[in-house]
Amino acid sequence: MSGTRPGRTLLRQEVVEGIKRYILDERLRPGDPLPTEPALCEALGASRSSVREAVKILAALDIVEVRHGHGTYVGRLSLSALVESLTFRGLLSPDDDFQVMADLVDVRELFERGMADRIISSLSTEQLDGLERLVETMRATGAGEGDGFVAADRAFHALLVAPLGNDLIGQLSMAFWDVYTIVAPHLDGFTHADETATIAAHQNIVDAARAGDVTAFLKALDEHYAPVRRRIAEARSRVADPAGPA
């Protein structure tokens, strides 16, 4: 039995690659329909079981979407598989939690800093007003009042990069929050001073964007990420030395 598995796996992978090639060759876009299962079997020279297994693999990667009773379509091509991998990695070990979190902070800040000019020039008055309202929500709820504070913070950064029209940046930015929900219970020490500084930094981001002041915008980003970087460093230190100083 074990001797048949490598060949079966190879065939399944060939079918996976065949479906991906078909999508590319036909220049299909997200939401476009794929051929029926019998048509794929004939086109790829594969069995029905191999096609079904390949579709399952591609569906898990969000490359295709199976709509039961309707057929198979090109998927959203999102980073959902990457997000799942990152969040699962975070579940395996607290130390991995903090490393993933630190890496994502770096990536998210890199996007926001590197595209500061474009973000500022692209934000509409309506979007700036929306950012302002989210800051008010953070101010009204406070970090100790359930999930409202974090939800407003998440929505703030989603809206901040939305004018770029870059799905990749948007999804990676939001991956931070999916990992954050796992890591947050291990990050102690978010003080009232941190809360005040975080709210002020968000307000400064909005004010700088309204004024078209890139220098002030970058300074506000530095202020925003300082508390979370400190908390990650302290949490990693506790994991490395649970006993603490003698």
Residues 6 or more apart whose CB falls under 8 angstroms from that of 102 comprise 229, 232, 236
Q: Is residue 50 part of a domain?
A: yes
pLDDT in tens, 51-99: 999 999 999 888 899 998 889 999 887 766 776 676 666 556 555 667 7
Q: Are residues 90 and 188 in the same domain?
A: yes
Q: State the pTM of this model.
A: 0.66
Last residue of a domain, one of 54, 74, 94: 74
- What Rg value do the Cα atoms of the chain yield, rounded? 23
Q: Are residues 24 and 132 in the same domain?
A: no
Q: What is the mean pLDDT of residues 163-181?
A: 77
Last residue of a domain, one of 24, 48, 74: 74
* Total structural domains within the chain: 2
- Structure-block tokens of residue 94: 């607290």
Q: Are residues 143 and 85 in the same domain?
A: yes
| pLDDT number for residue 4 | 40
Instruction: Give the span between the Cα atoms of 201 and 208, in whole angstroms.
Output: 10
Last residue of a domain, one of 40, 74, 108: 74
Q: Are residues 91 and 51 in the same domain?
A: no
Q: Are residues 215 and 102 in the same domain?
A: yes
Q: What is the mean pLDDT of residues 190-208?
A: 90
pLDDT in tens, 203-238: 999 999 999 999 999 999 999 988 888 888 887 777
Whether the CB-CB separation of 58 and 75 falls below 8 Å is answered with yes
- Structure-block tokens of residue 90: 């975070």
Which of the pair, 1 or 160, is modelled with greater confidence? 160
Closest-CA residue to 176 (of 190, 161, 164, 191): 161
Q: Is residue 246 part of a domain?
A: no
**Domain range holding 200?**
80-240
Long-range contacts of 132-139 (CB under 8 A, 24+ apart): 132/206, 134/159, 134/202, 135/199, 135/202, 135/203, 135/206, 138/198, 138/199, 138/202, 139/199
pLDDT in tens, 110-157: 888 999 999 999 999 999 999 999 999 999 987 665 578 888 988 999
Which of the pair, 202 or 9, is modelled with greater confidence? 202
Q: Are residues 62 and 107 in the same domain?
A: no
Q: Is residue 245 part of a domain?
A: no
